[in-house]
Amino acid sequence: MKRNLFNTVLKTQIEQMRRNTRKLAAGYNQDAVHDLRVAALKVDFALKFFGQTADAGKIKRLKGRIKKIRRLLGAARNLDILSSRTNKDLKKLPLTVPEIEDINTWVESLKHSSQRALSRMLESAGYKGLLDELQGCIGKFVTPNTHFIVQNPFKQTLERVLKYRKKPPHARNLHKIRIAFKKARYACEFLKDIHRTRMRRALKFIVGFQGLLGNRQDSIAVIEILSGSGRSWAQKLIKIEKTNIKKKQKNFRKRWEKDFLGPSPVTELYCWSSWH
């Protein structure tokens, strides 16, 4: 390739991390949390995707440090979703004024604790040191040639999605399928300049499935938080989220049977990767 793709991806995503870190330094911002989390996820995946020929020990250590950041960002985002969902669901339930006040107080308390922990992390020397270390990696990682990337990490990423075509997706596998789609999306975004038409078609297809499963996963995260509240009103909110999960699973299976069991942009891309 004419440019070092590994370094290009790293540079782009590290800039995103720094930009959204500055936004959060000015005050809590849900969009900045989401964008920072996505950038951290992409850096983490890029280290594995492109780093098959790099220093394995260094890659593992960097991924371990990024994981701690992702955990705090994920917790903050889940609480933002909880807040949004409870505000919406309260209108559907016959709750008393004290119950509504208790819900709002409990949610805000959780959010405050999470945001303080996130703020401390973003201001820490460890986090700033990680960004500087990642920045220092730019220009030092060598991207394997295009043929190696397409025939190995890219093809393997698509295989993790396509292996679920062999049988109807069971509910216990939907989280794994969601992760497989997410990684396939990132891989297509990284390689979008190699074959724009095929990548664009595949991305549109992948994003549709990922959206259905992402909404389902949001409900699961909300249920996990509510289950630890110890409040009597929690079961009423959990019931709404369980209904949402069933609806999303049904919609996913319908689309799966319609669009994924036969030829699809992903199978086309996989065939292309086999002979590229």
- CATH code of residue 123: 1.40.20.10
Q: Are residues 139 and 158 in the same domain?
A: no
Identity (one letter) of the amino acid at 262? G
Band (pLDDT 50/70/90 cuts) for residue 2 is: very low
Considering 118, 143, 168, which residue would you say is the last residue of a domain? 143
71 shares its domain with 119? yes
Count of domains observed in the chain: 2
Same domain, 176 and 99: no
Note the helical H segments in the chain. 5-25, 30-50, 56-89, 97-123, 125-137, 146-149, 155-162, 174-190, 196-227, 234-259, 265-275
pLDDT digits (tens, 9 = 90+) for 178-195: 999 999 999 999 998 888
Looking at the structure, tell me whether residues 137 and 162 fall in a common domain.
no
Q: Is 166 exposed, middle or buried (0-12, 13-18, 19+ CB in 10 A)?
A: exposed
Where a domain ends, among 125, 143, 161? 143
pLDDT digits (tens, 9 = 90+) for 9-67: 999 999 999 999 999 999 999 999 999 999 999 999 999 898 776 677 888 999 999 99
Domain coverage including residue 192: 145-276
> What is the rounded distance in angstroms from the CA atom of residue 176 to the CA atom of residue 142?
30
From 121, 143, 165, give the residue that closes a domain.
143
Exposure of 8 by Cβ count < 10 A (0-12 exposed, 13-18 middle, 19+ buried)?
middle
Q: Are residues 62 and 118 in the same domain?
A: yes
Are 171 and 116 within one domain? no
- Do 155 and 223 sit in the same domain of this protein? yes
Confidence check: pLDDT of 1 > 70: no
Average pLDDT on 191-213 reads 90
pLDDT above 70 coverage of the chain, percent = 97
Tell me the C-alpha distance between 173 and 157, whole Å. 17
User: Do 133 and 5 share a domain, yes or no?
Assistant: yes
Judgement on whether residues 11 and 138 belong to the same structural domain of the protein: yes
Same structural domain for residues 15 and 112? yes
Residue 276 has pLDDT above 80, yes or no: no
Residues 189 and 70 in one domain: no
Pair (137, 159) in one structural domain: no
The pTM (predicted TM-score) of the whole model is 0.91
Range with lowest mean pLDDT among 86-95, 127-136, 224-233: 86-95
Number of CB atoms found within 10 A of residue 153's CB: 21
